[in-house]
Structure 1
Amino acid sequence: MVRFGLLGAGSIAIYRHAPEISSHPCAKIVAIYDPITSRAEWLAEQYGGEVEASEKALLARQDIDAVVVATPNAHHARLTLAALKAGKHVLCEKPMATSLADAKKMLSAAKRAGRKLMIGHNQRLMPPHIKAKQLLRDGAIGEVLSFRTSFGHGGPEMWSQDKGAHTWFFKKEEAFVGSMGDLGVHKADLIRWLLDSEVTEVGAFVETLAKCNDKGQPITVDDNAVCILRLANGSVGQLTASWTYSAAEDNVTILYGTKGQMVIGANPEFPVEVMLRNGEMAQYKVGGVSTNEAQLPSGIPDAFIDAVLDDVEPEISGREGLKALAIVLACLESAASRQIVKVAY
């Protein structure tokens, strides 16, 4: 049995972590802390656990084996380091930190403590992406030469428990980065995992085009990012993240190979489609991809619990989280400098 403490009772805990942990036969929620006590109380009523008065009190509990860090981004590294120091395994939301220096400290702390550190990059666990990975390994479209991957919706202000333009997602001091850290980091992780190759260089425009805060001023983080990536295997492609796709969500990846192309996530009935240059076509009905409107199991808590119980390194380890973060940081640097930037891991 893995006994959990939750740091943060916002939307990601409400819709993903708490229900998935509580439904697992080998896990339970023991304690919850959120600075807004009413949120922690509501979550405890729904899924069990005691409400703690502080982060320190939760981390001091001896009946907790693992902690979920589900707070605004600026607190991920601080709380992860504290939890590891307290001897807890940690499942941390993405992006794992706001700097590579802090991410490396998290990796070192996990190694020093002998505890698991996993980052919540859920896209690679979605059934269509798993099927796509299998097809790519089988050579279904040959060598991937280029790609387009996008993740966009109308913005986090109605997903966040801080409903409206005052949400922490819009504040640089809490979020650090906007659509690129909320959505782009998912696709950064996904594309390097799908293609089994690291991103080496990026060029990016990371902009604030439309979103305003509760004072009617432009938000202090980005709401759109359009990035060009070069991978070590020679593939080049485009990654797009947006909070201004107000009519419909977009979580589509298209891979262009030497034998044909693969479309992932465009067709709800057949989420994976392969079209070959000889005219052949294959469609796969393999389950869906979770959206803000249609929440599906993420698989993240299950994978983390398995890693803890089996005493193995999580597939989406801290090192994997660091690599996705490095791509985001390189894109931010490129946007600021208007230069092509090499990714530093």
Structure 2
Amino acid sequence: MARCCAVGCGVIWRHHLHAVASMEPRRLVYTCVVEPDDARRAAAVEAVRAQLGEEPLAFVTLEDAIQADPTQELFVAVDIMVPNVGLLHEEVAKTALQSRRHVLLEKPISVSVASGLRILAAQEKYAPERVLMVAENAQYWREILEARRLLRSGAIGQVLSVRAKFWESGHPALNEWAADGSYDPGSFIASAAEGFVFDGGLHWLRPLRMFLGQAVRVAAVAGRTLPHMQGPGMAQALMCFDSGVTAVFESILAPGAISEQPFFVIQGSSGEIVLDGFAGGGRVYTVAEGRVLETEINADFCGPVGWDTGYAGEVADFAEAVLENRPPAAGPEEAVEDLRLMLAMMKAAKSGQWEAVKELEPQLEMATLGLAL
């Protein structure tokens, strides 16, 4: 098994730990945890003990863990799940790469394209033989992969348009992130310039790119849904891709209740694909013998489906990449392109004009964009 150190033990850590615990056969194990908060650190140790049957060592900083393990007998890989605040992702990733560890870095890769590229450069300089992977669970999401296969097979003809909607409730009784305080005043999502749309919306931009190719230009508006959240809590955008298809992207953090809505609707010249929400599922609509034929998208699949399957897939891919010395399914440069598109969308919301994605300034970040809401 790949011996791994978990860095940052918040909500996303629980998803990663569950994914590792569900692996059959298990190819990765957390042998140590790094968390500056005393209560979270103790809880992380107990969670590893309960779910993996391991007795992990605990450290306050990654530097402490590396210093305690100069020969990499304790851990050869690092799973970085710290908040995307300032250049923290870049700093922690560089620390891990300089110690010649394999790195799984939670998305977004960083706050600017320039910072993301510096992380890629650090791998090339310090650990070219190690794996650098950005954790984007949409890349392994069962329904997304099946939809891509269907599109490539021509199941619904030529793609005409795509509508993507990222939605959540900000009410603690309706959302585990809200219940954990992720959207409370003072939290990193609420207090940082990036906000809700930036942090979570990348999970919808990756599938759009998987379906349609590279984005060329974008127009957008953005707004606030929670009065204390500094960054956008909602956004609407039109995105033109090099495939010639235009997509509609919507995102909203509702203050209260919100209905179940499809995450993706893909309209083709001879049919339609609808992908449902977090629990998974979806349907393919085609015409046969003069009537509409509805087929469940998972009709021929017997395994687990839905949002969480993406976490299981990404952790398994990382473990295999480390153990088999091969690149992951999606390289870290894909995460840079996700970020480029997100920042171009936010720039368009600021300028009120169409923005060319490839012409985005590498140094641009939300903190300097000054997006007034």
TM-score, shorter chain, exceeding 0.5: yes
Residue 153 (structure 2) aligned to one of 123, 138, 142: 138
- Map of 1:205 onto structure 2: 221
Q: How many angstroms does 1:78 deviate by? A: 1.6
- Map of 2:323 onto structure 1: 309
Rounded Cα–Cα distance in structure 1 between residues aligned with 2:311 and 2:131: 22
Rounded Cα–Cα distance in structure 2 between residues aligned with 1:103 and 1:44: 31
| CA gap 1:13/1:69 in 2 versus in 1, 3 angstroms | same
**Which structure 2 residues correspond to residues 72-91 of structure 1 after superposition, within 5 A?**
72-74=83-85, 75-91=88-104
Cα deviation digits, residues 273-305 of structure 1 (max 9, x gap): 2234953423125253227xxx88542111111
Contact 2:137–2:311 (CA under 8 A) maintained in structure 1: no
Contact 1:201–1:340 (CA under 8 A) maintained in structure 2: yes
Of the structure 1 ranges 325-334 and 260-269, higher mean CA displacement relative to structure 2 is found in 260-269
- Map of 2:340 onto structure 1: 326
- Unaligned 5+ segments in structure 2 are 49-53, 299-303, 361-373
- Map of 1:194 onto structure 2: 211
Residue 159 (structure 1) aligned to one of 173, 177, 181: 177
Residue 234 (structure 1) aligned to one of 230, 241, 244: 244
Q: How many angstroms does 1:249 deviate by? A: 4.9
Q: How many angstroms does 1:53 deviate by? A: 2.5
Rounded Cα–Cα distance in structure 2 between residues aligned with 1:296 and 1:322: 19
Rounded Cα–Cα distance in structure 1 between residues aligned with 2:264 and 2:323: 33
Structure 1 stretches of 4+ with a deviation exceeding 4 A read 266-270
- Map of 2:141 onto structure 1: 126
Contact 2:22–2:312 (CA under 8 A) maintained in structure 1: no
Contact 1:143–1:258 (CA under 8 A) maintained in structure 2: yes
SS of the residue corresponding to residue 96 of structure 1 reads coil
1:148 has 2:163 as partner: yes
- Map of 1:216 onto structure 2: none
Q: How many angstroms does 1:232 deviate by? A: 0.2
SS of the residue corresponding to residue 299 of structure 1 reads helix
Contact 2:273–2:282 (CA under 8 A) maintained in structure 1: no
Contact 1:154–1:247 (CA under 8 A) maintained in structure 2: yes
C-alpha RMSD of matched pairs (Å): 2.3
Give the count of matched residue pairs.
331
Rounded Cα–Cα distance in structure 1 between residues aligned with 2:20 and 2:324: 17
Contact 1:224–1:241 (CA under 8 A) maintained in structure 2: yes
Rounded Cα–Cα distance in structure 2 between residues aligned with 1:270 and 1:284: 7
- Map of 2:367 onto structure 1: none
Percentage of pairs with the same residue: 23
Rounded Cα–Cα distance in structure 1 between residues aligned with 2:316 and 2:207: 19
Q: How many angstroms does 1:91 deviate by? A: 0.8
Aligned partner of 1:283: which letter? T
Residue 79 (structure 2) aligned to one of 64, 68, 73: 68
Rounded Cα–Cα distance in structure 1 between residues aligned with 2:278 and 2:226: 29
Q: How many angstroms does 1:268 deviate by? A: 6.6
Aligned partner of 1:222: which letter? P
Q: How many angstroms does 1:165 deviate by? A: 3.4
SS of the residue corresponding to residue 131 of structure 1 reads helix
Residue 188 (structure 2) aligned to one of 160, 164, 168: 168
SS of the residue corresponding to residue 320 of structure 1 reads helix
- Map of 2:51 onto structure 1: none
Q: Structure 2 length normalisation: TM-score?
A: 0.82
SS of the residue corresponding to residue 169 of structure 2 reads coil
Of the structure 1 ranges 161-170 and 114-123, higher mean CA displacement relative to structure 2 is found in 161-170
| CA gap 1:146/1:200 in 2 versus in 1, 3 angstroms | same
Q: How many angstroms does 1:265 deviate by? A: 1.5
- Map of 2:35 onto structure 1: 34
Q: Structure 1 length normalisation: TM-score?
A: 0.89
Q: How many angstroms does 1:325 deviate by? A: 0.5
Rounded Cα–Cα distance in structure 2 between residues aligned with 1:154 and 1:165: 16
- Map of 2:264 onto structure 1: 253
Rounded Cα–Cα distance in structure 2 between residues aligned with 1:85 and 1:67: 12
SS of the residue corresponding to residue 291 of structure 2 reads coil
| CA gap 1:85/1:185 in 2 versus in 1, 3 angstroms | same
- Unaligned 5+ segments in structure 1 are 214-218
1:52 has 2:54 as partner: no
Cα deviation digits, residues 114-149 of structure 1 (max 9, x gap): 221111211231211111111111100111121101
Rounded Cα–Cα distance in structure 2 between residues aligned with 1:296 and 1:314: 14
Q: How many angstroms does 1:84 deviate by? A: 0.9
